[in-house]
């Protein structure tokens, strides 16, 4: 059997593992770049450890996230946290396979394909729609909680320490809570009661799952609704 034939018979579990390892490897390489750290170049083992900790949602650190990495490096860690663990695990985030499916969906639309295909297998449209909904709802919840944190602290007159009082610090804590990672830039103890309650809310959603939480709120019953005549709309 040729290598191409074997590749096309890859089991879905292998795709899960491949997307998981790819996120770690790419994250490690980017964190190794000089633009990612402030003073000294991070050793390979430390960049690999940090990327693995972010994607595996363990929260273990070998260097301080808030003082060791630059704005760019912290954003990279944020992306790794948001990707989260793989499906079937108890980690938060949007999951590695969701990102892989989104990339496949984008590629299929660019190539003007009707279906999303991965290794000669067509992905059900319902799965694609669920993945896109998951990403959109996740970003919506993160944006809402981040807004509430900023507005709440501003309204209360609470002043964060100068080293921590930044938009990215609030965003980092919010995404970390949603991803149930535990990585922090050190601002959590300085949050107000209002802010801590919203972080608690994010941790609960991250652990339960966005879609599961949405089902709890709006129910699982589906409705076809009213169907009208179709009208095309120019996009892009």
Confidence of residue 164 (pLDDT cuts 50, 70, 90): very low
| Lowest mean pLDDT, pick from 12-16, 38-42, 71-75, 101-105 | 12-16
Q: List C-alpha distances in Å: 104 to 29, 80, 93, 101, 210.
A: 23, 19, 19, 5, 22
Q: What is the pLDDT of residues 105-126, one digit of tens each?
A: 888 878 888 787 776 777 787 7
Residue 121: beta bridge partners? 118
Calculate the average pLDDT of the chain. Answer: 77
Q: What is the pLDDT of residue 167?
A: 82
Tokens of 29: 């390489």
**CB-CB neighbours of 76 under 10 Å:** 24
Per-residue pLDDT at 144 exceeds 60: yes
Mean pLDDT on 66-87 = 83
Per this entry, what is the length of the chain? 236
Identify which has the larger pLDDT, 11 or 25.
Answer: 25
Per-residue pLDDT at 76 exceeds 70: yes
Per-residue pLDDT at 205 exceeds 90: no
32 conformational bin, left if phi > 0, alpha if psi -120 to 50, beta if neither: alpha
Q: What is the pLDDT of residue 25?
A: 92
């Amino acid at each position: 059997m040729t290598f191409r034939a074997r590749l096309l018979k890859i089991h879905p579990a292998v795709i899960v593992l491949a997307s998981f390892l790819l996120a770690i490897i790419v994250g490690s390489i980017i964190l190794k770049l000089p633009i990612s750290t402030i003073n000294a170049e991070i050793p390979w083992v430390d960049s690999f450890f940090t990327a693995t900790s972010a994607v595996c949602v363990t929260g273990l650190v070998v260097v301080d996230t808030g003082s060791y990495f630059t704005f760019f490096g912290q954003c990279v860690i944020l992306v790794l946290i948001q990707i989260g663990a793989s499906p079937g695990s108890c980690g938060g985030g949007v999951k590695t396979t969701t990102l892989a499916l989104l990339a496949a969906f984008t590629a299929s639309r660019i190539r003007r394909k009707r279906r999303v295909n991965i290794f000669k297998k067509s992905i059900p449209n319902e799965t694609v729609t669920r993945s896109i909904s998951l990403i959109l709802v996740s970003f919506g919840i993160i944006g809402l909680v981040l807004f509430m944190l900023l507005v709440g602290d501003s309204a209360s007159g609470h002043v964060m320490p100068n080293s921590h009082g930044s938009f990215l610090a609030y965003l980092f804590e919010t995404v970390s809570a949603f991803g149930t990672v535990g990585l922090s830039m050190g601002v959590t103890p300085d949050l107000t009661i209002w802010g801590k309650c919203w972080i608690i809310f994010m941790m609960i959603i991250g652990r339960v799952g966005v879609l599961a939480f949405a089902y709890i709120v709006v129910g699982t019953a589906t409705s076809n609704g009213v169907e009208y005549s179709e009208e095309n709309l120019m996009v892009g």
